A = this chain, B = another copy of it.
Amino acid sequence: MPVRLNSNDKDFETHFVELLGLKREVSTDVDNAVRAIIDDVRARGDAALVDLSLKFDRLDLRKTGIAVTAAEVEAAYAACSKETLDALMFARDRIADHHKRQLPSDDRYTDAAGVELGHRWTAVESVGLYVPGGLASYPSSVLMNAVPAQVAGVPRIVMVVPSPSGELNPLVLAAAKIAGVSEIYRVGGAQAVAALAYGTDTIRPVVKIVGPGNAWVAAAKRQVFGTVGIDSIAGPSEVLVIADKNNDPEWIASDLLAQAEHDTAAQSILMTDDEAFAEAVEQAVRRQLGTLPRGNIAGESWNTFGATIILGSLGEAVPLADRIAAEHLEIATADAEDLAMRIRNAGAIFIGSVTPEVIGDYVSGSNHVLPTARSARFSSGLGVLDFMKRTSILKLDRAALEKIGPAAMTLARAEGLEGHRRSVEIRLEEAG
């Protein structure tokens, strides 16, 4: 059974802190094994990929090749239904349209002291997109990672995807084609991350690696960080729904379950100011669970990590939601817009009762890669800026150096960096 908290209870704060502290992920220590795999790929390149794929994926890359061929991609595309392809292209176009608005502007200006300053944004040269194999192999995630990279102007977008026993999800290959992925390799796990970071004869290294993966992939990304850039490490998904009694309990229940069906470690929380409504939603959840194909997963998630929180008033939701800092925050109340603007910490906010979180997973155009596990307190969803970097520009003339140089010399001396002082002084002397 999910926990039920009431903000009027004396021990509410204690229980709320317990809820915040719930550990939903079992941390597997695979660091040493991953280090060995990375070393092996660095030392032996493609030969290591062959051996490791035999071992972990029961796949002989010497027979299939490491690269997925254009013909294979075309065949996979042809195998998909028109309805699904149309939906993928519809999503791709909406994601592209939305993300184009995130393209940053360069800046260049001369300030009052005559100092020319500015910055220039450029795309990273190449990106490696990790796509999990098996159940969690989602074409929508391919779009959500690759399309912003394309919008940013990344010229080379590489995808790696494990092919257990030779299987590849045709939808994932079709999504890659639709998203403009330029190379695909049938390798996964830590070995794929190592190949992307350090390169092999077949796979040229990339500059940044993004995308979700299991504990091995996450550990490998952490270990190669520095050699390449990485995105944030995603944890299990979560939703916080704030709803008043004027909602259909069945709608709200379906949203809690959509989140819960992802993973037994997912978390769905309902906040409401009406206890009878909370009970109605809980009942609806139990009823819907019985008919859900992934009911076992959703049920385990809901019973282990689910929660309903009864508030004295909806205004109490603001500080609590900020502490939860949910990946997904759905607000279905009369003053939803006002509440949304008062809450600072959330990956994405879904306003109103006809904005189910699921819309953001697929076709809203907004990115579904969002900060999990309370990291919305300090980080943002994936976007175009994650595939770009900013270079500062400085340009002085002699007059500007004369104006601001002396203060630099003072600070250099104060910090005991005489060489710093001199590199300004030598120019001012000769100017004088």
Contact = CB atoms under 8 A, between A and B. Distances in A.
Contacts of A431: 354
A125 interface: yes
Contacts of A261: 417-420
B423 A391 contact: no
Contact of A398 (B354, B404, B408, B419): B354
A363 interface: yes
Interface string A334-373: 0001001100111111111111111111111111001101
Interface stretch (A40-48, A69-77, A271-279, A379-387): A379-387
Interface in A73-95: 83-84, 86-88, 90-91, 94
A391 B115 contact: no
A60 interface: no
A411 B352 contact: no
Contacts of A354: 396-398, 400-401, 427, 431
A363 B410 CA distance: 10
Contacts of A396: 352, 354-355, 359, 364
Contacts of A117: 98, 364-366
A251 B363 contact: no
Nearest to A140: B411
A217 interface: no
Contact of A379 (B97, B229, B394, B397): B229
A67 interface: no
Nearest to A88: B411
Contacts of A90: 404, 407
A86 to B, nearest CB: 8
Interface of A: 83-84, 86-88, 90-91, 94, 97-98, 101-102, 107, 109, 111, 113, 115-117, 119-120, 122, 124-125, 135, 138-140, 171, 207-208, 226, 228-229, 233, 248, 250-251, 254-255, 257-258, 260-262, 288, 292-294, 298, 322, 337, 340-341, 344-367, 370-371, 373, 375-381, 383, 385, 389-398, 400-401, 404-405, 407-408, 410-412, 414-424, 426-427, 430-431
* 7 shortest interchain CB distances as A-B pairs: A229-B378, A348-B392, A380-B390, A261-B419, A254-B423, A87-B410, A351-B395
